[in-house]
Chain A
Amino acid sequence: MDPATLTLSAMAQQLHAGSLQPTTLVDACLARVAARDERLHCMTQVFADEARVRARALEADTPGGPLWGIPWVAKDILATRLGRTTCGSRMLEHFRSPYDATVVQRLEEAGAILLGKSNMDEFGMGSSTENSAFGDSRNPWDPERVPGGSSGGSAAAVAADYCGFALGTDTGGSIRQPAAFCGVVGLKPTYGRVSRYGQVAFASSLDQIGPITKCVEDAALVLQAVAGHDPRDSTSLREAVPQWGTELESVPAAPAAVRVGVPRNFVQHGVEAAVRADFAHVLDTLRAAGASIVDVEIPHARYAIAAYYIIATAEASSNLARYDGVRYTRREDASDLGELYARTRTLGFGREVKRRILLGTFVLSSGYYDAYYLRAQKVRTLLRGDFDAAFAKCDILAMPTSPTPPFRLGERTQDPLQMYLSDVFTVPANLAGLPAASIPTAVVDGLPLGVQIYAPALEESRLLHAAAWLQGLLGFERLTHRGRA
């Protein structure tokens, strides 16, 4: 069996047993990349030589923790000393980071092997990976369809067995939606659970780094390795990191009386039939397994998309100001400073990034701040209250990850509003800072679908337990493997 197709947990088992060597595994993964990436274009860079050197170095040593010797892929928004950190942008095409992101450092220390960096929507802005300056990525299930976004390259790389796991970043669903589109697991942790130091900022108050993996157990192992307070990120939480990996080894077959909340009013609208049917099937499965399904209200969820696109664009307009042609970015010829800025930013940024910078600049303008930014922040507070109230009635929330199955390339590029609406079920988690995960549910018409679980802040344990249980009920692991084969 090709070791690249194994889950991270299975890879780790064989590596520790000595039946698999890091070099063999790295070669197998690189072979998958070589065979498939010309078509799928998940990667912006592959560090083949460096990965082999690292694998050999590890091999000379004794196996470490569960990530020891595991090849992984970083979304190209994570700062790495190795290679370039492009953020899918022409602006940073040649940018070499002078430092490693905290998560990269932690994975390095855990013995994981950085195999390369994955394609993405420019600066994380998009839901299809069609906004990359370096070309579209394709969905491994159907290369005519998008892998989702903005971490589309990471999700597709995991689905296509390039690696043991990938890291993505999620500002409004950018881990979960591509995970659903590619039939893999994607988890956005509680805001502050994982250090953002070294994640090129899109919207600072919403961004979170998280794992994209082949199964729930793998997500627990990766999250455990990267989570925890970082003195370099003032917004990172000081709460202790539970042993998620070990916890999942003892998931009860039928947890007692799980209450699954469903925000019915919210999930009724704009959801395609296939997704609706699949979601109903998931709820039936849960109910049959002993869970109680509870109706809950998230009254302010209807304002989430509007609030999100105000806050995210406002913060982005400021975060992206540093790409001005003065220091590390590309610089266009100009006769004066104003022209230098204008030409550099006009030519260096893609359409969607410019659209969002303009929106964000507008909503922060003097005279508009109260009407937009401040009001959006109020929505955020109200939304948090909604979730608190809902979690008083249930243990977890369930809803579709995306209102649609993976769509075709080019299908939505002309309609940015339609594209923004694909985030409807994912952005509330970012606005409220909650942990949420997408897990695969079924393959319908050859395309994977996903369901999403929300848990209260800091309740990643509950989230992972519920996800592992549901994964077992749905038997998706076999499902995805058959899909990927």
Chain B
Amino acid sequence: MRYEAVIGLEVHAQLLTQSKIFCACSTRFGAAANTQTCPVCTGMPGVLPVLNEMAVEYAVRMGMATACTIRQRSRFARKNYFYPDLPKGYQISQFEEPLCTQGHLTIETQAGERTVRIERIHLEEDAGKTLHDQDPDSSLVDLNRTGTPLIEIVSEPDLRDPLEAHAYLAKLKQILVYLEICDGNMEEGSLRCDANVSLRPVGESRLGTKTEIKNLNSFKGVEAALRHEIERQAALLDGGERVVQETRLWDAQRGETRVMRSKEEAHDYRYFPEPDLLPLVLDAAWLERVRAALPELPDAKRERFQVQYSLGRYDAHVLTGTQALADYYESAVAAGGEPKRIANWVQTELQGLLNARGIGIEASPISAASLSELVRLIEADRISGKMAKEVFAEMQRSGEAPGSIVERRGMQQISDRTALLPVVQQILAANPGAVEKYRDGKTKLLGFFVGQAMKATRGRANPQELEQLLRESLDSS
């Protein structure tokens, strides 16, 4: 039978605040174990939480960026469960009255644009880390991460295949990074994803039994785990068996999911309103200030790029991939040069260079101003496209400005006919056989003459001028 997958994602994003959500401890990653802790985040008897306002602002930014309703009154709740890296025995989260509800975002799929609904975005605190491989006899707990602010972004079950899930996750990450509220690093755990998956026969509207897949800690993992889980469920259903509602763990090494806990073993979190915190009430004027300070978001930026720079949708999409790339592009265009030509240089040569070095645009050895200068040299016919690639190579090695490279290496393009003519004449004179064949009709030999002339000018001849001149010389006598 053919099935349709129904997928919803729960994404946790660590917020880039300086301090933790309920105490003043630093959130810096990578410090020695248990050094970034205090009585509050280690859950000492008698301590109380105090909410970090910046965490609220960051969460509200994400809510606004995904068209959510921002509740002016929301509540924190305790989610109760025992685990060694959860020092209070409960996590402060939001349950019945989350901060943001009913949002959506658009993703690009093979079938075009699709809207994915967001059920809710709420604030909560992160747990610590239990380390099972540091000591032969016991497990160790590091509470540095405890209390790092998180937002949990819960989608509606609107995704239909692993590629869509990937696109949705990528879009979330893009927005989070644009908003400068999360670094989006799945490998380091600052972005984490759980998935709910069920299958139903194509055409059926009722939902099938779902499983929850945990431990999806890379973009590839999300896709692979979903693909595997969909196959597993399809095989069960084809074999006349039923899918069991349970939580499964993705094992990236083995490429399979396995049971973590059954429905019967599921936690009863015994949520209740957090009595140590007042309801979170947001002032309308404050919300307006946050909204006004939002940066231009990827979709809006892409549309603007299409119009303002006459770019195709694809080019605009790529160039607005990150805020930094878009900024780079725009400052290059502002420095001068044809937008489309700059777009091509950014996407091919520059992106190729960055990929080869494994660095981001922020670390580009070639500044936007230099790239613009290079493009302007082409546009002024001072260098050819081919020469420009040479100059580009030199720029990335030395960091020297393109104009100065061209100057120093005498690379100016020869466009002047009077300068080119002696070269052409010399080539024709040196190759009488070829000239004869050309004149007998083998006009493809023009390329040969061009090559010879380029060689003679060390590539500096203006190709258009050169070709013109060669044709004239060959055809005239």
Q: Which residues of A are in contact with B by a Cβ distance under 8 Å?
A: 78-79, 85, 87, 92, 95, 97-99, 101, 196-201, 203-205, 231-235, 314-315, 317-318, 320-322, 324, 326-328, 337, 341, 361, 364-366, 369, 373
Contact = CB atoms under 8 A, between A and B. Distances in A.
Main secondary structure of the interface of B (DSSP, over half): loop
B78 A234 contact: no
Interface in B263-293: 268, 270-272, 275-278
27 contacts: A85-B45, A97-B39, A196-B46, A197-B47, A197-B48, A198-B47, A200-B45, A203-B275, A205-B275, A232-B50, A233-B48, A234-B278, A235-B276, A315-B272, A320-B89, A321-B82, A321-B88, A322-B45, A324-B89, A326-B84, A327-B87, A337-B84, A361-B270, A364-B271, A365-B270, A366-B270, A369-B270
B276 A204 contact: yes
- Of the listed residues B45, B48, B271, B278, the one surrounded by the most CB atoms of chain A closer than 10 A to its CB is B45
B90 interface: yes
Interface in B49-89: 49-51, 78, 80, 82, 84, 87-89
A368 to B, nearest CB: 10
B268 A366 contact: yes
B46 A201 contact: yes
Given A234-B51, A234-B278, A365-B270, 9 more contacts: A97-B39, A198-B47, A205-B275, A315-B275, A318-B270, A321-B88, A322-B43, A327-B87, A364-B272
B44 interface: yes
Contact of A231 (B42, B50, B78, B141): B50
Given A232-B50, A341-B82, A87 B276 contact: no
A318 B141 contact: no
A318 B277 contact: no
Contact of A321 (B48, B89, B141): B89
B80 A364 contact: yes
Interface string B79-116: 01010100111100000000000000000000000000
Contacts of B47: 99, 197-198
Given A98-B39, A99-B39, A101-B46, A321 B80 contact: yes
A85 to B, nearest CB: 7
B46 A198 contact: yes
Contacts of A234: 48-51, 276-278
6 closest cross-chain pairs (CB), A and B: A321-B89, A364-B270, A204-B275, A205-B275, A200-B45, A79-B46
Q: Which of B89, B141, B271 has the most CB of A within 10 A?
A: B89
Interface in B115-150: 141
Which residue among B44, B87, B268, B278 has the maximum number of chain A CB atoms within 10 Å of its CB?
Answer: B44
A318 B272 contact: yes
Contacts of B272: 314-315, 318, 364, 369, 373
A441 to B, nearest CB: 34
A322 B46 contact: no
A149 B128 CA distance: 37
B46 A97 contact: yes
A51 B268 CA distance: 48
Contact of B278 (A87, A99, A235): A235
Contacts of A337: 84
A79 B277 CA distance: 20
Nearest to B88: A322
B82 A324 contact: yes
Nearest to B270: A364
A200 B270 contact: no
Contacts of B42: 327
Contacts of B277: 234-235
Contacts of A97: 39, 44-46
Nearest to B266: A366
Interface in B167-222: none
A79 B42 CA distance: 15
B374 to A, nearest CB: 56
Nearest to B42: A327
Nearest to A204: B275
Interface centre among A197, A203, A341 (most CB of B within 10 A): A197
A326 B141 contact: yes
Contacts of B78: 318
A101 B276 CA distance: 16
B406 to A, nearest CB: 63
A80 to B, nearest CB: 10
Contacts of A235: 48, 275-278
Interface string B221-250: 000000000000000000000000000000
A345 to B, nearest CB: 10
Nearest to B51: A234
Contacts of A324: 82, 84, 89
B45 A95 contact: yes
Instruction: Choose among A79, A314, A315, A324 the residue with the greatest number of B CB atoms under 10 Å from its CB.
Output: A324
Nearest to B43: A322
A253 B46 CA distance: 42
A129 to B, nearest CB: 20
A95 B49 CA distance: 21
Interface centre among B43, B90, B272, B277 (most CB of A within 10 A): B272
